[in-house]
A and B are shown apart, each in its own frame.
Chain A
């Protein structure tokens, strides 16, 4: 895939919960060893995060719990308000959106048609009151599809693609196993052919063989559809398999970034070193 512009260009992205004083940034972060400002008590969830995501690329975001990796995804998915910085999303047709200042109307359109989000817990991403097909239909209906047959065909196609037996299209998600629910979530996220897929700890809590199949699926989707992905995980194996490049976050800051192989083979930051060591 030839591309001269990134799908997503993030610069100085910050999210501070609380009153925020001028010294918040200086008194928190990796060096300070905390993300709570000792002066005003604000939580600096994300500060000065910068990266580019290119078309068709999978970028990993790794870090311990509370490091701000999911907060980054929430900011990109417009589920949370950016405090400072910029994140420019570029659509296929070249239209650019500044996600930090976008209005609710645009935010809804982007979430409905351009973004796909897969949560760690399928209960956050699926509607358990409607069938599996209904969950996929909801995304298609959001993006304006009004033909019942077209919705049906697309839902069947997506279920097949995500290895869910098409015969189970009218079953409720709660009748599915955990791995199937996760795959249904992926099918739902893919329904409107998104340009950016956000995966938040998608394999956490699943057994190893199910994990492997979901990771395979994600790689196949990337190859077939060329969709750009942000993969948030605390699992080294996941970034090793999926991501070409990786950011390592701690206390709301990016402490290390680069090619995944390089980071895993030759970690520079003490935290990354510890992480890689403990995995081996």
Chain B
């Protein structure tokens, strides 16, 4: 709690981080518990933020509670650093934390708040990922009652989630979940990894970085500590697959800006009826361009 002490000693730092000391302490404690029990959803008292719940308040509260002067912040909204959402969040966080530097470069960032993407560039041990989560509970698609869901988690009862996978394989010959794909963390709790695409899920497996998840509206925190197993739920004989981005002939689309074929692509329909494929992760695309591919 060095930050809390600094604040007490230095009234000028009172405004750092927007949240009051009690909120900071509660969120940090919640995060410690979440890290100690990987994948377990820790309830917390989500504070009122200057934006409506459901607009990334969970991620914001984590960022504000753990940001320290000297941190380098990157805010991503679906791979973009310059969308309205990302810009507004970045502006608010820097206003609340004056000594925080910002960047759009994944490599330089120490603290990355994100909505719906994990950066393509492999993360390092000094980086913290903060995810904005709309629905923290993977069981929500099969059980509406939270009380029952908590019991199901407690007893590791994920059979009905598996039945959903079974039904998908029967109907579509693969699992019909493009994002929020459930994954088992550390061999125990199954998490909803927030609406990151399937493409990003393998990046969480034994990641060097720490991944923190905050659901402001649902008032839950959870975490994937560094070097932790994150295994997507899949049948032994129907393996988990990421997005393929192939044309009808089975050729992988390339980003039309940087030309690479190993990133998650956005499909952009053009007025003439054709389509363009572009990297979703802007920073990765720009990095490739500046290095001459």
A→B interface (CB under 8 Å): 104-105, 108, 112, 127, 130-131, 133-134, 137-138, 141-142, 146-149, 151, 170
Instruction: Indicate with 1 or 0, residue by residue over B230-273, a CB within 8 angstroms of chain A CB atoms.
Output: 00000111100000000000000000000000000000000000
Q: 5 smallest A-B Cβ distances: which pairs? A: A148-B235, A141-B162, A142-B159, A141-B159, A137-B166
Whether A105 lies near B155 (C-beta < 8 A) is yes
From B157, B167, B235, B236, contact of A131 by CB (8 A): B167
From A127, A131, A138, A146, contact of B170 by CB (8 A): A131
Whether A133 lies near B157 (C-beta < 8 A) is no
Give the total of B residues in contact with A, Cβ under 8 Å: 16
Whether B167 lies near A134 (C-beta < 8 A) is yes
Assembled-state Cα–Cα distance A131/B159 (Å): 15
Tell me if B176 counts as interface (CB < 8 A to partner A).
no
Whether A138 lies near B236 (C-beta < 8 A) is no
Return A152 CB to nearest CB of chain B, in Å: 8
Total CB contacts across the A-B interface at under 8 A = 47
Return A277 CB to nearest CB of chain B, in Å: 47
From B155, B164, B171, B235, contact of A147 by CB (8 A): B235
Assembled-state Cα–Cα distance A134/B168 (Å): 10
Assembled-state Cα–Cα distance A130/B167 (Å): 7
Whether A148 lies near B238 (C-beta < 8 A) is yes
Return A234 CB to nearest CB of chain B, in Å: 32
From B163, B171, B236, contact of A137 by CB (8 A): B163
Chain A residues, CB < 8 A from B169: 148
Chain A residues, CB < 8 A from B163: 127, 130, 134, 137-138, 141
Whether B235 lies near A146 (C-beta < 8 A) is yes
Can you identify 21 A-B contacts, CB atoms within 8 angstroms? A105-B155, A112-B159, A127-B160, A130-B163, A130-B164, A130-B167, A131-B167, A134-B163, A134-B166, A134-B167, A137-B166, A138-B163, A141-B162, A141-B163, A141-B166, A147-B236, A147-B237, A148-B235, A148-B236, A148-B237, A148-B238
From 151 to 184 in chain B, residues with beta carbon under 8 angstroms from any chain A beta carbon are 155, 157, 159-160, 162-164, 166-167, 169-171
Chain B residues, CB < 8 A from A108: 155, 157
Chain B residues, CB < 8 A from A151: 166, 235
Return B59 CB to nearest CB of chain A, in Å: 32
Return A27 CB to nearest CB of chain B, in Å: 37
Chain A residues, CB < 8 A from B238: 148
Return A151 CB to nearest CB of chain B, in Å: 7
Assembled-state Cα–Cα distance A205/B33 (Å): 53
* Closest chain A residue to B166, Cβ basis: A137
Return B139 CB to nearest CB of chain A, in Å: 14
A170 touching B155 in the complex, CB below 8 Å, given contacts A147-B236, A147-B237:
no
From B157, B164, B166, B171, contact of A148 by CB (8 A): B166
From A104, A127, A134, A148, contact of B155 by CB (8 A): A104
- Additional pairs, 13, CB under 8 Å, beyond known A133-B166, A142-B157: A108-B157, A112-B159, A138-B159, A138-B162, A141-B162, A141-B163, A141-B166, A146-B236, A147-B235, A147-B236, A147-B237, A148-B237, A170-B171
Assembled-state Cα–Cα distance A105/B151 (Å): 11
Assembled-state Cα–Cα distance A147/B234 (Å): 9
Chain B residues, CB < 8 A from A127: 160, 163
Return B164 CB to nearest CB of chain A, in Å: 8
* Closest chain B residue to A142, Cβ basis: B159
Return B66 CB to nearest CB of chain A, in Å: 36
Chain B residues, CB < 8 A from A104: 155
